């Protein structure tokens, strides 16, 4: 039986093997491993792509959040409100700078719910951190209005959002800073770990530049305590190459999402994500194609028997359910969502035929259950 993997990691390289081999050999032959021209070029290309003043490659998307939080001065005594529907890295970064992550519900669109955020604001709240999940940007107007009303800053975890837009503006560029992950399975994936921080603020940019490289300034003089969190030059070279084709990759993801939506609409047991052309306010780029399904576990088992690999995001656990970390908050909407959500294969190498096969098997499953 043919197996359709959830994410075919080796295809990241093999679909473009000749060109990528050249890129990597060139870096090796020049011995250009740390902070070389590819890093500078990538920072410039990424900033231009996102329409933001400054971009900095760092070691991974988690470091990006930690460094961003430090750069804006969030620390002990501060609270940051973020969705429980996120990867642990978002909350852990807040904890690791000494602040408190305050978890909020997701709304019907699975994104941070502004009304729930507002209930959780206290005198200690410093920032609201929307997470641009699954390649969709939150309704930033509503979140910004809440932030403005209470004098809070917006900071964005756009690890999963590169290329997505809200009203024409890129995810990651709304707040004091935004962060991206280049983990291999991300929209723009490198061949290991990688991340970036972007900002339009010159002072924050200056602090990020110091924090990510041992506190060294342009002359190499250490003027602050800093981390070693540099994007590898090899990864920067790979990302420079991949960024050139990124818009084609996004177009392919949007086409796959449209195909899934057209094929699955009408199955009343499913709730589908908005299709790519349904909503001019949101430009969605489908990092993931996440559905809600009745009898979700049985559906996954049936698809698995038929060679179709699916996953439940964050291994099925929203952050507030990690009681060992001290969370006591009840978030019933997020709990319910996690009993129903699952992700179908979504990547740039899956074929239309494979998508149609998956659609067919989902129809078969619900017909068999009648």
Ligand X SMILES: Cc1ncc(COP(=O)(O)O)c(C=O)c1O
Which positions touch ligand X (CB under 6 A)?
60-62, 86-87, 89-90, 131, 157, 159-160, 181, 183, 193, 195
Shortest Å distance, C-beta 166 to ligand X: 17
Q: CA 345 to CA 14: how far, in whole Å?
A: 18
CB 95 within 8 A of CB 62: no
Residue placing its CB nearer to ligand X in the complex, 187 or 264: 187
Shortest Å distance, C-beta 68 to ligand X: 11
Shortest Å distance, C-beta 260 to ligand X: 21
In the bound complex, which residue of the shown chain has the CB atom lying closest to ligand X? 61
CB 97 within 8 A of CB 66: yes
Sheet holding 165-166, edge to edge: 169-170, 165-166, 282-283
Shortest Å distance, C-beta 323 to ligand X: 21
Residue placing its CB nearer to ligand X in the complex, 60 or 144: 60
Residue placing its CB nearer to ligand X in the complex, 63 or 359: 63
Q: CA 288 to CA 303: how far, in whole Å?
A: 17
Shortest Å distance, C-beta 158 to ligand X: 8
Residue placing its CB nearer to ligand X in the complex, 164 or 306: 164
Shortest Å distance, C-beta 86 to ligand X: 5
Shortest Å distance, C-beta 193 to ligand X: 6
Q: List the structure tokens of 128.
A: 């609201």
DSSP 149-182: HHT-EE-EE-TTTTT-EETTEETTSSSS-EEEE-
Q: Which residue, 298, 302, 306, is CA-closest to 357?
A: 306
CB 157 within 8 A of CB 90: yes
Residue placing its CB nearer to ligand X in the complex, 160 or 261: 160
Angle made by CA atoms 342, 288, 276, in degrees to the nearest 5: 115
Residue placing its CB nearer to ligand X in the complex, 80 or 303: 80
Residue placing its CB nearer to ligand X in the complex, 195 or 276: 195
Q: List the structure tokens of 235.
A: 């990864």
Q: Which residue, 299, 294, 288, is CA-closest to 270?
A: 294
């Amino acid at each position: 039986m043919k197996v359709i993997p959830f994410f075919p990691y080796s295809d990241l390289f093999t679909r473009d093997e000749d060109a990528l081999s050249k890129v990597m050999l060139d870096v090796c032959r020049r011995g250009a491993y740390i902070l070389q021209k590819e890093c500078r070029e990538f920072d410039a290309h990424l900033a231009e792509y996102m329409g933001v003043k400054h971009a900095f490659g760092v070691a991974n998307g988690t470091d990006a959040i930690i460094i961003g939080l430090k750069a804006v001065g969030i620390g002990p005594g501060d609270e940051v409100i973020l969705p429980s529907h996120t990867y642990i890295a978002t909350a852990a970064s807040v904890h690791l700078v000494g602040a408190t992550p305050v978890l909020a519900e997701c709304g019907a669109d699975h994104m941070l719910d502004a009304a729930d955020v507002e209930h959780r604001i206290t005198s200690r709240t410093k920032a609201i951190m929307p997470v641009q999940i699954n390649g969709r940007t939150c309704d930033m107007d509503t979140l910004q209005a809440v932030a403005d009303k209470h004098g809070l800053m917006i900071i964005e975890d756009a690890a999963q959002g590169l290329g997505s837009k809200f009203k024409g503006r890129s995810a990651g560029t709304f707040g004091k800073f935004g962060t991206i992950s280049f983990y291999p399975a991300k929209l723009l994936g490198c061949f290991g770990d990688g991340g970036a921080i972007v900002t339009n603020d010159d002072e924050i940019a200056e602090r990020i530049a110091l924090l990510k490289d041992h506190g060294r300034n342009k002359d190499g003089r250490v003027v602050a305590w800093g981390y070693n969190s540099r994007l590898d030059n090899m990864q920067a070279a790979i990302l420079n190459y991949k960024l050139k084709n990124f818009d084609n990759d996004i177009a392919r993801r949007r086409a796959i999402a449209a195909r899934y939506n057209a094929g699955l609409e009408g199955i009343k047991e499913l709730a589908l994500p908005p299709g790519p052309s349904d909503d001019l306010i949101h430009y969605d780029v489908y990092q993931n194609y996440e559905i809600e399904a009745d009898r979700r576990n049985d559906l996954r088992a049936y698809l698995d028997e038929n060679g179709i690999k699916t996953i439940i995001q964050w291994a099925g656990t929203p952050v507030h359910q990690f009681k060992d970390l001290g969370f006591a908050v009840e978030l019933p909407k997020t709990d319910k969502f996690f009993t129903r959500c699952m992700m179908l294969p979504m990547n740039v190498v899956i074929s239309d035929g494979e998508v149609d096969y998956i659609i067919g098997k989902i129809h078969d499953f619900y017909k068999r259950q009648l």
